[in-house]
Structure 1
Amino acid sequence: MSQEKQARIFLVVVDETEEMSVALHYAARRARNSGGRVALLHVIPPGELQQWGAIEELMKQEQREEAEQLLQRLAKEVVDISGTMPTLYIREGQASEQLMKLIQEEPSISILVLAAGTGRGGPGPLINYVVGQMSGSLRIPVTVVPGSLSDRQLDAIT
């Protein structure tokens, strides 16, 4: 009895940074070229209006709708590049915490793809957290892509 090889899943954390699209395109190209798939994670930050329950619920609902619209738009990009529909995850909480939880909960996730920031702020807080604090406890490899790569450069390395 032969075991079917499971497709590699490239996880991309979706946020508002410019370099996120570089990570997204890198992951989609790698998925296309290796027969893999892409997963997208968007984390909605925790609310700060605990005493205003109804207002906070409305804000959470709006944030979730915006997250769903963003993921649908990005999913179309992934399909255009990789040919397959990505798996979509929306979580609430701290991005680093939710990322680690998802990686633990989903054994199918094979590789985490992040893009380094291009500004003076360094690579970014999520990369600092993953590569620094969590590097010894991750069960999957992390690919950090320079956030300044062009589509042509991405094609060349994928």
Structure 2
Amino acid sequence: MLTFQEKLDIIETFDELTKKDVSLNRVNFHFEDSLYDKTTVVYHLHPNGNGFVYTGDLPQYKADKKGLVNIREFNEEELREIITASITYLSEEEKIEPAIEQTWKDSEGHTLLLVEEDDRWNIYAGDNLEDSFGGYDEAALYLREEGFKIR
């Protein structure tokens, strides 16, 4: 297991991350260029060596419901890989091909339906029209900003 200082030294090599001190001598590192509201990459790195890295729903990591992976037992290579994966995850647009109808869900289980109708992209909550957009990209961006993902 790496010490707190060793983890800190490794994380600080990522120039794109900004260090922010938080309570109880813990440290967060943010990726300010994130395409999403989420900017925290390293969460609550503690002097005891415990801490978390945000991986969202990346399939190669077993994250908790908040998308965080505990890095307490990580070695240097594993730590560098997971931080790189997190930054990549937060800096790339989802590559989704438009369909005629898509189901989007948020982390709380709410479901919205995105439907192409008469050259418009409409968002429905049940039978109720929530919003309408002129293009797929605009509608998908809105849904992502509201915390929804295709399911």
Q: TM-score, normalised by structure 1?
A: 0.22
Q: TM-score, normalised by structure 2?
A: 0.23
Find the structure with the greater CA-based Rg.
Answer: 2
- Pick 1 or 2: higher relative contact order, CA cutoff 8 A, min separation 6: 1
